[in-house]
Structure 1
Amino acid sequence: MYANREIFAQSPLALVAAEIRFTDAARLRQQQTKDEVTIALEGRFPFAEPLHQTDFNLTSGASPQIQQRAGVVLKNTKSTETLTIMSESVTYETTSYVSFDKLLESVVAACEALAASKVKPALQRVGLRYIDEVRVPNKITDVRQWSRWIDHHLVDHLAVGPEGQTATMAQSVSTFDLGEGRGLNFRSAALNQGPIVVPQHLKREVQESGPFFVLDFDGFQDFTQGQLVPLNPGIVRETLSAVHVPCGTAFQRSITDEARQLFRGAQS
């Protein structure tokens, strides 16, 4: 757990995702295996759609290399949760986040279904991502005004700009080493436009164009160094639980008490 953890009635979360990358799994290129996994998970994700991707690899002096990849997208009944299965990755995404425990339950169930179908590639990266789009009822005409809802450390750097002039946009990127191959990428941005999260396979409530503040947390563990680690539900559970804490801690440190009141449903 982490300090100030709570589930907000009006959460600013736009998308939550958990991704497991691994070495190419030949079994996941076989329709029989994909069918086995789909059937095993149909209680959680009753609808399935085929997915076809085309990757272009451009190398200087050589003809473009085209690679076709096929997978499957599993959906819940409301199309607010998906599980995308490819030969090199499994990705869980939701636009209707309830709790970390529910996310963990779905991702571990997917790993168990893969294990039951004898899919055991080597892990490369396990990541957990939270993207918040913070919107407030007050009119924002200058990025500096976000300090009412966003911690001043993410806004104060604008003081180096010209006095009396409007700041129309701001962004920052930071990476933290958490040890043991784990890390946290943190991006923040004050924007005035349409939403940045426009999922391909998920439904999301319509968001009007206008000012909002993005808080993007990507906690991860890299498994490409050292001994190979086979895909294992227990390791995935442990890794996601470990990186969840710094993601949650960073979020709580990024917002003000007034923002918390707003997210609880109290009018600011």
Structure 2
Amino acid sequence: MYPNREVFRNAPLALVAAEIRFTDAARLRQQVTKDEVAIALEERFPFAEPLQRGEVTLNLGLGGAPPQIQERQGVVLKNASSTETLTVMSESLTYETTAYRSFNELLDVVRSACDALVAAKVRPAVQRVGLRYIDEVRVPETISDVRQWGTWINSRLIGQLEVGPDDYPATAMQSVTTFDLGGGRGLNFRCAALNQGPIVVPQFLRRPPIQSGPFFVLDFDGFHDFTGQEAVPLSSEVVCDSLSAVHLPCGTAFQRSITDEARTLFRGGPS
């Protein structure tokens, strides 16, 4: 449990994702395996769509060899409201939602998905487990200068603007920070003040229509990197332990990024 943890009625979450990357699993290139996984999860994800991605590999050596295009095929499983998807590829498993309710529910979904892969005899070596929260903070006032976000966003994030000229508005701001959490774990934190349409536009997920305008992005990407060590076979226990370990710093960083005025807004009270 992290300090000031609270479930907000009007949380600014645009997307929550959990991704497990692993070594290539040949069985996941077989349709019979993908069907077995889809059937095991059809109660929550009753609809399936094929997914095909092209990955371009450049040859930087001498000889001028043309780029190589490798096709990756998978399946996207969706719930009835198109607010949750589970994407299964031969090298990854990704859960995404635009209707996040709780971390425990996310763990339940990911645990079921990992168990379905193991039951289908898919046991590759885990390479990376990631947990990502992307917030798009919008407020009931006109933001014409990034400095105005100091009412809603921790002033320490806005403070870098003090190096600029006082008499001119700042129209945009971005920053990226990486924290080493030890044991192969880390946290990438990105924030940005933007004035445009939403940055989260999922291909398979549904989001309510959002007008273009000023908003503040808080992007937390917690991860556990397993590369460079003895192989760790895929299991729901390993994955859920990693997600739980990085969830705490993600939540703590979010609470430290917002002000009490923002908390009141997210609770649905007067701002």
Q: What TM-score does the superposition give when structure 2 sets the normalisation length?
A: 0.98
CA offsets 1:110-158 (integer angstroms, 9 cap, x no match)? 0000000000000000000000000000110000000000000100110
Q: 1:105 aligns with which of 101, 104, 108?
A: 108
Q: Which amino acid aligns with 1:71?
A: G
Matched, 1:143 2:146: yes
Structure 1 unaligned spans of 5+: none
SS at match of 1:220: strand
Q: CA RMSD in A?
A: 0.6
Matched, 1:165 2:168: yes
Alpha-carbon distance between aligned partners in 2 of 1:174 and 1:164, rounded to the nearest angstrom: 28
Partner of 1:120: 123
Alpha-carbon distance between aligned partners in 2 of 1:28 and 1:237, rounded to the nearest angstrom: 21
Structure 1 position 267, deviation (Å): 2.6
Q: Which amino acid aligns with 1:199?
A: P
SS at match of 2:42: coil
Partner of 1:50: 50
**Taking every aligned residue pair, what percent have the same amino acid on both sides?**
71
Alpha-carbon distance between aligned partners in 2 of 1:179 and 1:7, rounded to the nearest angstrom: 28
Partner of 1:130: 133
Alpha-carbon distance between aligned partners in 2 of 1:250 and 1:71, rounded to the nearest angstrom: 34
Matched, 1:78 2:81: yes
Partner of 1:29: 29
Q: 1:180 aligns with which of 183, 195, 215?
A: 183
Alpha-carbon distance between aligned partners in 2 of 1:62 and 1:166, rounded to the nearest angstrom: 49
Structure 1 position 57, deviation (Å): 1.2
Q: Which amino acid aligns with 2:111?
A: V
Q: 2:261 aligns with which of 255, 258, 262?
A: 258
Moved segments of 4+, more than 3 Å: none
Structure 1 position 177, deviation (Å): 0.3
Q: What is the total number of aligned residue pairs between the two structures?
A: 268
Partner of 2:220: 217
Alpha-carbon distance between aligned partners in 2 of 1:77 and 1:143, rounded to the nearest angstrom: 39
Q: What TM-score does the superposition give when structure 1 sets the normalisation length?
A: 0.99
Alpha-carbon distance between aligned partners in 2 of 1:185 and 1:86, rounded to the nearest angstrom: 24
SS at match of 2:9: coil
Q: Which amino acid aligns with 2:112?
A: A
SS at match of 2:65: coil
Structure 2 unaligned spans of 5+: none
Structure 1 position 178, deviation (Å): 0.2
Matched, 1:200 2:193: no
